[in-house]
Structure 1
Amino acid sequence: MDATLKVLMVDAATGFYKIIRYPIGKYFGPVDIGFHHSNIYDSLNFGTGLLAGSIFPGSNRLIFTGYSPCWAGFYISSMGGAGLVFDNLGINLVSIVGRAPVPSTLYLNRNHGEEIEVEIQPVDIHDVWRSGRQGVYSLMEHMLEVYGSRYENEPRILSVGQASAVTDFGAICSAPIRNGEITYVDTWAGRGGFGSRMYQKHGLAGIIYGGTYIDQDFRDRNVADSWFEDRFKKKMAAKDIEATTKYRYDENFLTGGTLGVNYATLKGNIIAFNYKSIYWSEAERLELHKKFIVDHYLKQFNEETIQTKQQKNCGEPCVAVCKKLNGKYKKDYEPYQTMGPLSGIFDQRAAELVNHKADTYGFDAISIGGVLSWLMECVAEGHIKPSELGIKEKPVFSPDGFDVVSDSMK
């Protein structure tokens, strides 16, 4: 293992780049170097830790750091699986400074050598966002079409959407590429507004990276098993399976994933209708959980996703297969809660539409769900007219007489 951490600094304004090396010991990974660079250069940083590329579960997350436009301070956000391809660049961190004069894309490739190819090109971003699958998805498709043939191995793409151009809580999206196609298993660096930072502060709408570099990753499973047996009395794979039960399938609840297990166990802790449920009695919350969640919202998820085993991983070779799907719609608890029961939605069809629209625009789904639920209550209570939000009628924002299918669509 190299005794230094390598950082690629890229000036988006000029295209100039350089490698900076830091001794291991003074710094250990993307968070402390990111904090250092943020203080000195006001940079947006993303990279991996020392174990990236190894067999250890969770070691291939891509870590983003920098000044958060929505939290007004240093922030850390991470993206599942995207660090595995990043490791092929042979560096530990990318640090972006400066601002491209027009919306642009950044190309990074390491092809059988020490040198990393760096290229910044303008992009007609609004035309791209309107094309194909639209938003973050069309940008990934566009970049794969333009740059994909330059890579010997399948690359990874980071993209932002319209939300990053006009809000401070735009997210960064990515998805594994399989057989030359962008999969539906999108992963996100959602918290912190780093998509907004990337686009507004640095002028970058997308970044594509990858390479052929192969380092001496830790892949000796026998050694790993001995460590895990000493600590947990189990081999690594067995401990991994045990630790990820909730994310894969929990026989105690006959469901899986954060959405399935959380909704199966919430009961009286359910939060709905922009937190209005906190003022209800326990019996009222339990009734809503049974009628709207267990008997419908969760039932749909179990029948359509769990029983049909529509599940993938984020690009990292782990056993969790935590990405639960229904066709092109990926199901996680947090966005399907904020743009679900919190917003007065208890039907998967309605939740799929609003969640997918938010993802397409590149919003941090949890943040926009909180905003939407507040707006729905404001309209329902008469504080805002429906026409002011471009909608035709008030939402049904109470469990009384609520039709779980039709009223979820309003």
Structure 2
Amino acid sequence: MLLVKVLRINLSDNSWRIEDTTAQGPVTLGVKVHNEANSWGLDPFDPQVPFVIGMGPFVGGKMPGFHRLMVVFKSPMTRTLHVAALGGAAYKFMGSGIDVVIITGKSKSPVVAFLSSDGVELRVVEPIFEYGNYHGAYAFTKYLLDTYREFFVKYNARAVVVGPAALSTYNGALVSIDVNPLKGEFRPGAEDFAARGGPGTALAMGHNMVGIVAGGTYRARYAKVNDMEFINKVMIESFKKPFRQVMDEKTIKYRFDPGIGTGGTFGVNYPHYRELLPLFGYKSIYLPREVRAQHVEAILRLFWKPFNDEVFVRSKSWYNCGDFGCSVVCKKVWHGKKVDYEPFHAMGPFIGNYIFEEAVPLVDLIDQYGLDAIEMGHVVAWLFDSLEHGLLKPEEVGLNDKPVFDPLRFNPTIDSRKNARLADELIRGFVGRSTEVLRLVAENGIRAAARKLDEMFHERVLKVGRSFRDLVVYAAYGGSGYMTPNLYWAPGMVAPMYVLGRYWTNYTPTFMGPEDFAKSSLGRAVMEALIDDAGLCRFHRGWVEPVLDRLYTEVIGMQPNKDLYKEFAEYSMKANAEPTPWESERARDVVATMAKEIGSKEWIFEDYEDYVNWWRRFKATIDAGLGVITR
């Protein structure tokens, strides 16, 4: 069994201790710690709810990809356990010799933990969000780098911080920007965000911790992760090819695919998904395919091509996340800004903005605030659509104009700029809670806010004939939890799975009967949980999944815990936050329109009972596969 070095911090009295325990990885340990604390019965911001952040066992070796920091926390959005991942940061964090940090209690003053191979120190540090030419989480990171330069240089350290959004909204992320400590500079492209579910908010509001800085001299935990003879032997026996060749072939999408002349999630997804891209807050699912094709042509011309020409023709600005042995260089950088599909789609076509250059400052603003870009795409699109339908007035969300949010009358070259400008104002107002409506959303999240808005504007709802909740896509958990889907037109992203908002499901844009779809989704969920527990970047999943059992067995001497996903399900049941049937009409229609798109004859979804039947049969199959009994 893997011996894990755990740092337990109690911020109620600013005490800490280091202990050894056994666990497969940070996610397994996180679930165990939450169960021991009975956190299922506590509010997500209760100081006794543990916040767990750590790395997997394969760090420090010659197999890149195993250097993600994993976060396990009780989400203020889902109201149950959630997992978020932060790419590359474990490469430096491992130097501290600490595998997992468990935080409980709440400090009276904001605190930053400094972890090194020489010890632990908790320092009171007020978060600085304006510093030099930097703003938000970038300013705070630069302030820490300059103020504690000696620590960064001595231990080759990296910071994880919160941004302003963690102090004022449910949607705060953890932000980590790798640095060159000797030069006092940020490393290009080496920035990442543990964002889904609000981990930054959970850390800041629940514990008043605003950052962790870690580094040191420790490296690989196990000798075999540096044994290339062993690594190549495993790969040859599994793939008939040596390790480097297998890794290059299995990660080609994220580096550069010469077959399509692009790479990375942004470069590949647009020409690949085309008419299946979700646009205008998922309103595109109702459009005929030929109309969607017209939109795609404009997106490829105005949104995709400028990026592709710059990154793959002119500058070739490709980097990695700070996992220094990784040759995938998945971080494509456009004039200093890291570009990935989901944050740019969230601030691009999903909110009615087809001009790439207009999306760049929006993504940068979201990153500075330390927000989850996917969630903010849903928030902006939802509020835009509420304005379009007349459920809200511009001044009620701090605007002086209405967006153009009807895809049938949208002019990409004119209306994109208008929508981008209004999105900028809306995001700033959201973090600043500048109006009653924006405060309601920022403090409560979409699901609870939609209910309250339906009450506040009851007469408008009756007049328009649409509910606020029907204009946004989310999966519901228990009485108040929810999760918005990653930006794919995929029924598996809103299906009754116990962890959503990540890729713990079948997220292929397709449709099947509920039993078959559930079985395929459960298979992915079980494997994705194991990938996260190993601290693996999922861009490497193609070469790791077939050999993961063997790596655990031969490197660590244990079999991986295949019941990990089941443990999440059992926790959600105890927290009264298991999946509940769709409340949103548009969420239901993500499933129904995909069934129509592929020409399903069995599932027509003519009435509400059809939706409920598909949902219930899907969930029953998941629960039977896990061997759990629900109420």
Q: TM-score range by the shorter chain?
A: over 0.9
| 1:234 counterpart residue number | 241
Deviations 1:46-65 (A, max 9, x none): 11111111122221111111
Q: Which amino acid aligns with 1:156?
A: R
Q: Are the aligned partners of 1:244 and 1:320 in contact in 2 as well (CA < 8 Å)?
A: yes
TM-score of the two chains, using structure 1 as the length reference:
0.93
Structure 1 residue 194 corresponds to structure 2 residue 199: yes
**How many Å apart are 1:405 and its aligned residue?**
3.4
C-alpha distance in 2, partners of 1:121/1:3?
34
| 1:16 counterpart residue number | 15
Structure 1 residue 120 corresponds to structure 2 residue 123: yes
**How many Å apart are 1:215 and its aligned residue?**
4.5
Q: Which amino acid aligns with 2:187?
A: T
C-alpha distance in 2, partners of 1:216/1:341?
44
**How many Å apart are 1:32 and its aligned residue?**
1.1
Q: Which structure has more strand as a fraction of its residues?
A: 1
Q: 1:203 aligns with which of 194, 208, 211?
A: 208
Q: Are the aligned partners of 2:136 and 2:164 in contact in 1 as well (CA < 8 Å)?
A: yes
Q: Are the aligned partners of 1:164 and 1:195 in contact in 2 as well (CA < 8 Å)?
A: yes
C-alpha distance in 2, partners of 1:303/1:46?
38
Q: Are the aligned partners of 1:339 and 1:373 in contact in 2 as well (CA < 8 Å)?
A: no
| 1:32 counterpart residue number | 28
C-alpha distance in 2, partners of 1:183/1:379?
40
Q: 1:348 aligns with which of 342, 346, 356?
A: 356
| 1:327 counterpart residue number | 335
C-alpha distance in 1, partners of 2:221/2:99?
14
**How many Å apart are 1:13 and its aligned residue?**
2.6
Q: 1:303 aligns with which of 309, 327, 348?
A: 309
Q: Which amino acid aligns with 1:162?
A: P
C-alpha distance in 2, partners of 1:182/1:319?
20
**How many Å apart are 1:390 and its aligned residue?**
2.1
Q: Are the aligned partners of 1:139 and 1:206 in contact in 2 as well (CA < 8 Å)?
A: no
| 2:6 counterpart residue number | 7
Q: Are the aligned partners of 1:153 and 1:210 in contact in 2 as well (CA < 8 Å)?
A: yes
In terms of mean alpha carbon deviation, does 130-139 or 366-375 score higher? Answer: 130-139
| 1:183 counterpart residue number | 187
| 1:150 counterpart residue number | 151
In terms of mean alpha carbon deviation, does 242-251 or 100-109 score higher? Answer: 100-109
| 2:413 counterpart residue number | 405
Q: Are the aligned partners of 1:30 and 1:46 in contact in 2 as well (CA < 8 Å)?
A: yes
Unaligned regions of 5+ residues in structure 2, if any? 38-48, 419-631
Q: Are the aligned partners of 2:3 and 2:20 in contact in 1 as well (CA < 8 Å)?
A: yes
**How many Å apart are 1:89 and its aligned residue?**
1.2
Q: Which amino acid aligns with 1:322?
A: C
C-alpha distance in 2, partners of 1:300/1:109?
43
C-alpha distance in 2, partners of 1:365/1:405?
23
Please state whether the residue corresponding to 1:253 is helix, strand or coil. coil
- Going from structure 1 to structure 2, the CA distance change for 1:284 and 1:118 (only over 3 Å counts) comes to same
Q: 1:268 aligns with which of 255, 272, 275?
A: 275
TM-score of the two chains, using structure 2 as the length reference:
0.61
In terms of mean alpha carbon deviation, does 102-111 or 367-376 score higher? Answer: 102-111
In terms of mean alpha carbon deviation, does 190-199 or 382-391 score higher? Answer: 382-391
Deviations 1:344-376 (A, max 9, x none): 011111111211111111111111111111111
C-alpha distance in 2, partners of 1:334/1:182?
23
Please state whether the residue corresponding to 1:177 is helix, strand or coil. strand
Q: Are the aligned partners of 1:44 and 1:65 in contact in 2 as well (CA < 8 Å)?
A: yes
In our comparison, the structure showing a higher alpha carbon Rg is: 2
Q: Which amino acid aligns with 2:111?
A: S
C-alpha distance in 1, partners of 2:372/2:163?
11
Structure 1 residue 174 corresponds to structure 2 residue 176: yes
Deviations 1:169-214 (A, max 9, x none): 2110101112432234210111121100110001011111111224
Deviations 1:280-336 (A, max 9, x none): 10111111111x222221111101222221111001121111111112321111111
Q: Which amino acid aligns with 2:156?
A: E
Q: Are the aligned partners of 1:53 and 1:84 in contact in 2 as well (CA < 8 Å)?
A: yes
Q: Which amino acid aligns with 1:359?
A: D
Q: Which amino acid aligns with 2:414?
A: S
In terms of mean alpha carbon deviation, does 176-185 or 142-151 score higher? Answer: 176-185
| 1:259 counterpart residue number | 266
Q: Are the aligned partners of 1:311 and 1:323 in contact in 2 as well (CA < 8 Å)?
A: yes
Q: Are the aligned partners of 1:79 and 1:188 in contact in 2 as well (CA < 8 Å)?
A: yes
| 1:382 counterpart residue number | 390
Please state whether the residue corresponding to 1:176 is helix, strand or coil. strand
Please state whether the residue corresponding to 2:412 is helix, strand or coil. coil
**How many Å apart are 1:134 and its aligned residue?**
0.9
Q: Are the aligned partners of 1:90 and 1:215 in contact in 2 as well (CA < 8 Å)?
A: no
C-alpha distance in 1, partners of 2:109/2:151?
24
Q: Which structure has more helix as a fraction of its residues?
A: 2
Q: Which amino acid aligns with 2:121?
A: V
**How many Å apart are 1:148 and its aligned residue?**
2.5
In terms of mean alpha carbon deviation, does 215-224 or 332-341 score higher? Answer: 215-224
In terms of mean alpha carbon deviation, does 389-398 or 213-222 score higher? Answer: 213-222
Identical amino acids, percent of aligned pairs: 32
**How many Å apart are 1:84 and its aligned residue?**
0.9
Q: Are the aligned partners of 1:148 and 1:155 in contact in 2 as well (CA < 8 Å)?
A: no
Deviations 1:234-285 (A, max 9, x none): 1111111111111111122211110110001112212211111111101111
Deviations 1:48-99 (A, max 9, x none): 1111111222211111112111111111111111111111111210111111
Unaligned regions of 5+ residues in structure 1, if any? none
Q: Which amino acid aligns with 1:17?
A: W
Q: 1:221 aligns with which of 219, 222, 228?
A: 228
Q: Are the aligned partners of 2:111 and 2:122 in contact in 1 as well (CA < 8 Å)?
A: no
C-alpha distance in 1, partners of 2:120/2:148?
12
Structure 1 residue 49 corresponds to structure 2 residue 56: yes
C-alpha distance in 2, partners of 1:159/1:326?
24
Structure 1 residue 243 corresponds to structure 2 residue 245: no
**How many Å apart are 1:340 and its aligned residue?**
1.1
C-alpha distance in 2, partners of 1:216/1:278?
48
Q: Which amino acid aligns with 1:304?
A: E
**How many Å apart are 1:216 and its aligned residue?**
5.2
| 2:131 counterpart residue number | 131
Please state whether the residue corresponding to 1:337 is helix, strand or coil. helix
